[in-house]
Amino acid sequence: MASDLQFAHAHDASNRRASLALAIGVFAIGWSAIFVRWTSVSGMVSAFYRLAIASLVLVPWRMASTRGRRRTITRAARGAAVVAGVVFAADLAFFNSAIMATNAANATLLGVNAPIFVGLGAWMLYGKRPQRRFWIGFALAFAGMIAIVGADVVLHPSFGFGDLLAVLGALSYGVYLLYVQRARAAMDTLTFSAWCVASGAVTLFVVCLVARQQLWGFSAQSWAALVALALVTQVGGHLLVAYALGHLSVTMSSIVLLAQAPITALLAWPLLGEPIRAGQILGGALVLAGIGVVNMNRGAARAASGDAAADANANAGANASALSVDAKA
């Protein structure tokens, strides 16, 4: 009995650490649109440098951390990490291009639509139907999205090109999340991040060359923004989120990731001169309400299950066939 209580306390502490990491990671990711706009380069190029610079940090870090130790990583896990990197590269290219083509807050808002793609994708691929609480929370969050976007999408008959790019980014990010769970089932956070960003950087480098994008000759301000984009958003934000996804349900985590939309809106007002509308304030409140609904009583439900270890393994994606799914930029 005592050992069970100790295990439960340790599990709760692990979840608290993961939740804190997720919150900090979401705040760091909320800066993404700001840094992208400040780069003053094409979305494809800023996406490439975000992953390339991050690779210069994460790959040596990972190599140093495993020196003298042998870690067995399955081919399936490596393959999942590489695929995650490729689709994440597509997400960044779409999302960054959307930021340069439309309102930063709205691009972020549309970009966080990943939960609906992930929820439906996991249902179709793995037969794992999201719980009703997920759909209620998502309905609230989606209503918040509509309020934030307002006339830009709801009343805009042509559905602007920038908005379309943001939605394509959300679709790519949804696929990315599914492969994150597969890879994280068999590799640690740092290993996954190194494989993911490296494969994504290579992918975007080839795409930039084929598209004949300018890759140098930028101003000092552009380089500073590119470095900040890589270190704050990718190395900091996404490393923390990847860690959290290895310990928390990706379905619930993806709803928390919706908070980056109101965070970006708040940052864009003073930093990009994009004032917050009344609809964006209402929408932000609804998004946060959706987050609360999804996460309510989660701790009580886990305690009542009597099997914290099984719950943790399922949430981390230990069984791909029983993937508990559900996150942007």
Biggest alpha carbon–alpha carbon distance for the chain: 65
User: Shortest CA distance to 265 belongs to which of 256, 253, 278?
Assistant: 278
Of the chain, the percentage scoring pLDDT greater than 90 comes to: 39
Q: For the segment 115-170, what is each residue's pLDDT rounded down to a tens digit?
A: 667 777 777 777 777 778 878 887 887 887 777 766 565 555 545 688 789 889 98
pLDDT at 311: 33
Instruction: Give one word for 163, left, alpha or beta, with left for phi > 0 and alpha for psi -120 to 50.
Output: alpha
First CA to last CA distance, the chain: 44
Q: Tell me what the pLDDT averaged over the chain comes to.
A: 80
**Residues 137/291, Cβ–Cβ less than 8 Å:** yes
Domains of the chain by residue range? 26-322
Has residue 11 got a pLDDT over 80?
no
- The stretch 20-31 carries a mean pLDDT of 93
The dihedral built from the CA positions of residue 16, 197, 104 and 327, taken in this order, carries a sign that is negative
Has residue 111 got a pLDDT over 60?
yes
Has residue 7 got a pLDDT over 80?
no
In angstroms, the CA 98 to CA 279 distance is 21
Half-sphere exposure of 275 (CA within 13 A, CB side): 2
Please count the residues of the chain. 329
User: Shortest CA distance to 319 belongs to which of 181, 130, 125?
Assistant: 181
- The stretch 10-33 carries a mean pLDDT of 88
DSSP 68: T
Has residue 266 got a pLDDT over 80?
yes
Q: Degrees (nearest 5) of the Cα angle 261, 214, 205? A: 70
pLDDT at 320: 27
Lowest mean per-residue pLDDT among 60-64, 134-138, 157-161, 219-223 = 157-161
Residue carrying structure tokens 């494969």: 199
- The stretch 45-74 carries a mean pLDDT of 89
Has residue 42 got a pLDDT over 90?
yes
In angstroms, the CA 169 to CA 110 distance is 9
pLDDT at 53: 98
Other Cβ atoms within 10 Å of 121 Cβ, number: 19
Which residues, at least 6 apart from 10, have a Cβ–Cβ distance to it below 8 Å? none
Helix (H) or strand (E) holding 325: none
DSSP 130: P
**Residues 78/28, Cβ–Cβ less than 8 Å:** no
pLDDT at 68: 65
Lowest mean per-residue pLDDT among 8-12, 46-50, 163-167 = 8-12
User: Shortest CA distance to 13 belongs to which of 247, 325, 189?
Assistant: 247
Half-sphere exposure of 248 (CA within 13 A, CB side): 32
DSSP 171: H
**Residues 242/184, Cβ–Cβ less than 8 Å:** yes
- The stretch 98-108 carries a mean pLDDT of 85
pLDDT at 284: 79
